[in-house]
Amino acid sequence: MLDKLESIRDTALEEIEAADDAHTLEQVRVRYLGRKGALTQILRGLSEVSPEERKTIGQQANQAKEIIASAIEARKAALEAQAMEERALKDRVDLTLPGRKPRVGRKHPVSQVLDEITSIFDGLGFQVATGPDIETEYYNFESLNIPEGHPARDLHDTFFVRPGVVLRTHTSPVQMRVMEQIEPPVAVVAPGRTYRVDSDASHSPMFFQVEGLLVDEDVTFAGLKGTLMHFVHEYFGKDTAVRFRPHYFPFTEPSAEVDISCTVCGGQGCRICKHSGWLEILGCGMVHPEVFRFAEYDYERYTGYAFGMGVDRIAMLRHSIDSIHHLYENDLRFLEQF
Ligand code: DAH
């Protein structure tokens, strides 16, 4: 019996040593110390042994039980420590790795240019006004002295929403909306989207304009000229030449287009300025008395000037972008350059 106990103890210890995970170790425990385990059987069978043997065998069996139990505990602790170490190795954080940079958003180049333009006029005391993109023919055309049948309407390639309602073809209707709201003096700039049925390298069906309007007593063309020269010099630099070229717009009289010396070749002539040395950037003029009549302004008392510029074109000149469509394709490789 004592031999048997000894061999049970020894194989148990071997098996404990060999168990290399918690599950196998638990199976070993059950096999020896569980309710039907080898040692438990022996302890239960003690009643059948003679009283003289019972004491020694009992003692030996209990001792073996303790040895096995503590070997299991030790093995268990060792396995846990090992598992912990493995986990620590696997989940180790390498603090020397470079961090993952979050992608930072930025303003669209057109928004940047819009902000720059409006801030120059803000510095001159102009306030920002807005109007709807979906506009009535009255505000887009008629009140700006472009009556039905007027040839200027054909130049606008208008998107019609329904009869009498259009996508505004320019920001000029904001002039009328502002004048209906407030009495002179008026000094506003109106940035916003405009729409025309047109698409090539320099035209997009949706594009941006900034409108300007100043109305007061004694407003002169000289004032218009000074304001726009100031704008050009602020925006494109002091050395930029400015040229006013007579033109026709129904809502201004007299009217002009403004050219600046080519920002690419400095006026020498290049592909961008089509070898003329000049780039057209805006239209302007003195507000037509007929427009004041629609606004119910006293055109004997007040005069005013207005101007409208293409923001996309200015953004393209500023950043040497060769197709307007780059601005609206939302290609991050392009946009992230700004
Ligand atoms: N509305 C014109 C256009 O889109 C631009 C323009 C010209 C606006 C002269 C003005 C102006 O206010 O006075 O072509």
- Cβ–ligand 1 distance for 310 under 6 Å, the answer no
Q: Are residues 227 and 328 in the same domain?
A: yes
Tell which atom from ligand 1 comes closest to the C-alpha of 170.
Answer: 4
- Is the pLDDT at 225 greater than 90? The verdict is yes
Question: Sheet holding 165-167: strands in order across?
Answer: 134-136, 165-167, 160-162
At 1 the pLDDT is 76
Last residue within a domain, chosen from 58, 91, 124: 91
Distance 304 CA to ligand 1 centre (A): 14
Residues 85 and 117 in one domain: no
Q: Is 211 in the pocket of ligand 1 (CB under 6 A)?
A: yes
Question: Are residues 71 and 124 both part of a single domain?
Answer: no
Rounded Cα distance between 315 and 278, Å, is 16
SS (H, E, C) 164-215: CEEECCCCCHHHHHHHHHCCCCEEEEEEEEEECCCCECCECCEEEEEEEEEE
Out of 194, 307, 311, give the residue to mutate to test ligand 1, the one with the largest number of ligand atoms within 8 Å of its CB: 307
- Nearest ligand 1 atom, CA 251: 13
Q: What is the mean pLDDT of the segment spanning 58-77? A: 87
CATH number at residue 258: 3.30.930.10
Task: Identify which of 214, 195, 192 has the alpha carbon closest to the alpha carbon of residue 206.
Answer: 195
> How confident is the model over 296-317, as pLDDT tens digits?
999 999 999 999 999 999 998 8
**Does the beta carbon of 129 sit less than 6 angstroms from any atom of ligand 1?**
no
Dihedral, CA of residue 316, residue 245, residue 229 and residue 254, to nearest 10 = -120
pLDDT at 312: 93
Report the atom number in ligand 1 closest to the C-alpha of 308.
Answer: 8
pLDDT in tens, 164-184: 999 999 999 999 999 999 999
Where b means 16+ CB within 10 Å and e means fewer, 264-297 reads eeebeeeeebeeebbbbbbbbbbbbebbbebbeb
Rounded CA gap, 310 and 318, in Å?
A: 12
- Which of 168, 170, 224 for mutating ligand 1's site (highest number of atoms within 8 Å of CB)? 170
Between the two ends of the chain, the Cα-to-Cα distance in Å is 90
Q: Is 308 in the pocket of ligand 1 (CB under 6 A)?
A: yes
- Of 91, 124, 159, the position where a domain reaches its end is 91
My answer on whether 15 and 72 are in the same domain is yes
Q: In this structure, which residue's CA is closest to atom 7 in ligand 1?
A: 283
Confidence label for 18 from pLDDT (cuts 50, 70 and 90) = confident
The domain in which residue 324 lies consists of 109-335
Q: What is the pTM of this model?
A: 0.72
